Amino acid sequence: MSHDLAAILRDLASRCAARGVAAWLTGGAARDLASGRLPADLDLAVAADGLELARAFANAHGGAFVRLDTGRDTGRAVLPGAPPLTVDIARLRAPTIEGDLELRDFTINALALPLTPTLTLPIPATAFLDPTGGRADLQAGVLRPCGPRSFHDDPLRILRAGRLCATLGLIPAPEVVPLARTAVAGLDQVAAERIRDELLKLLDAPATAPWLRFLDDCGALTRIFPELEPARSCEQPHIHFLPVLAHSLETVAALDWLLGGPTEAAALPVAVRTHPELTRELPYAGALAALMAERRAGGHRRQALLKLAALLHDNAKPQTKTTHPAGRVSFHQHQELGAVAAARIGRRLRLSRSDSSYLTLVVREHMRPGQLRAVEALTLRAVNRFFRELGDAAPDVLLHELADHLATRGPAVSAAGWAEHLAWMAGLLDHYYAPPPERRVPLIDGHGLMAALGIGPGPRLGALLREIAEAQAAGEISTREEALALARAKLGTGAGATRTEDGS
């Protein structure tokens, strides 16, 4: 935290005291302080004037004020900084602070610290109000609902339970799954934006797969994604060792591991549990880590969206499964139909257009790396076309392919075969991260091509520029004159607007 937390809390306490309003630090902020961690954001409960206090605090610190809920007298102050500090101030939901805390989601979030103008850090454990036993559950690493109605009061808490366990290393209390199952139908009434944000926070955690399985135990996974229910019992050919839904969850587990996730045996993919000698030292590891940490236009990190794609990548296998007369099983075009479903899911979750396009692309193209690898004499043109058509999502699709491979082969993976797989991916990534200098600068642009050939803008021009780029990347041409000669030849044969079947 870039802000002086103690000074901020004293300032808030003084402002509340000046109005004669009692105030408490609550929620995740109180939980973090009770655990010895500095909170990223602050939540306050006040006896009155939540909106006005938030507005005055924001104005005093040159921040922004957001009206969150007029009916509940709840406002937000966002203070400038790196990162900014968000302070939510809400009026009590019950006549007393104890009553307010008992209405909260989980006992670990039902702690409250009375704010005083003389507050100093660290905070002694005895300073926290704890009507539900949250400190004991924190110490034991247990996530427990505040009461039997907790999930009914807000079914989104089912997803939050998985996210808190994933991010804080907690274990659900025995009553969590049975109570969640009784309330899971209520997820149908929860706003899509709330589901999206909670789900993507879970997917952004280092260990995602165990808690997606937890959501499935609660009945929540296929409540959110009914497209996945038919995949539960969809068996696959012998090269796979799991049915489709279990395979998809295993793919997420493999991504968790590849991206530096936990090493506990229960969270590892079966391939790694069976062969602990497998390495996750990826080629271009630093660049890939930076890519996965990147926040996209919708505000969500890339790795969370990639894990969502992994969960959904085979969603259309049940409806495309065909058993041929000789017994061979195929799933022809499952990636295309799966991409249609992914686009529909993106709209349903209110993903940004950019994030939805990314999700759809990864699902649609997840077979491409395997198809490249199956080609006996892979051409440089085909490799360059792969990177050009997938753009900045190409490394993501390659990471997904590695995870898919581990999830497909499972215990049949060998250390030698895995090393060969990584070496193959390194060779592909060389083309993306370290292309030869002479292939980076286009030999001619659209304006130059139009002027030299006397053609106008349109699909034909775009096709010619792609042909030139592919030939340059393949090392077939290296000068402007050669680029123009190729373009003239393509125009002469009518190939400037089309592409041959074999990609040459």
pLDDT-derived band of residue 437, with 50, 70 and 90 as boundaries? low
Q: Which residues, in sequence order, are CB contacts of 136 under 8 Å at separation 6+?
A: none
Q: What is the mean pLDDT of residues 259-273?
A: 93
Task: Evaluate whether 265 touches 273 at the Cβ level (below 8 Å).
Answer: yes
Q: Give residue 93's Cα distance to chain centre.
A: 33
Residue 297 pLDDT greater than 90, yes or no: no
**pLDDT at position 321 over 80:** yes
Is CATH 1.10.110.30 the right assignment for the domain spanning 146-224? yes
Q: Where are the domains of the chain?
A: 5-140, 146-224, 242-434, 438-497
Phi, psi of 306 (to 5 degrees): -65, -40
Convert the pLDDT of each residue in 361-386 to its tens digit. Answer: 999 999 999 999 888 777 888 888 89
Confidence of residue 337 (pLDDT cuts 50, 70, 90): very high
pLDDT score for 439? 54
CB within 8 A of 488, min separation 6: which ones? 453
Counted residue by residue, the chain has a size of: 504
pLDDT band (50, 70, 90) for residue 496: very low
pLDDT at 440 over 70: no
Task: Give pairs for 271-274: CB < 8 Å, separation 24+.
Answer: 271/406, 271/407, 271/409, 271/410, 271/411, 271/413, 272/406, 274/410, 274/411, 274/413
Q: Is the pLDDT of residue 432 over 90?
A: no
pLDDT band at 17 (very low <50, low <70, confident <90, very high): very high
Is the per-residue pLDDT at 495 higher than 60?
no
Query: How far is C-alpha 463 from the geometric centre of its chain's CA atoms?
Result: 35
**5-140 shares its CATH topology with 146-224:** no
Backbone angles phi, psi at 274, to 5 degrees: -75, -35
Determine the Cα–Cα distance for residues 304 and 309; give it in Å rounded to an integer.
Answer: 9
| Average pLDDT of the segment spanning 189-199 | 98
- The whole-model pTM stands at 0.86
CATH of region 5-140, choose from 3.30.465.10, 3.90.1300.10, 3.30.460.10, 3.40.50.970: 3.30.460.10
Instruction: Kindly tell me the burial class for residue 323, based on how many C-beta atoms sit within 10 Å of its own C-beta (0-12, 13-18, 19 or more).
Output: exposed
ω into residue 269 within 30 of 0, thus cis? no
Mean pLDDT across 477-483: 88
Q: In this predicted model, which residue has the larger pLDDT, 262 or 358?
A: 358
Distance CA 311, CA 209 (A): 9
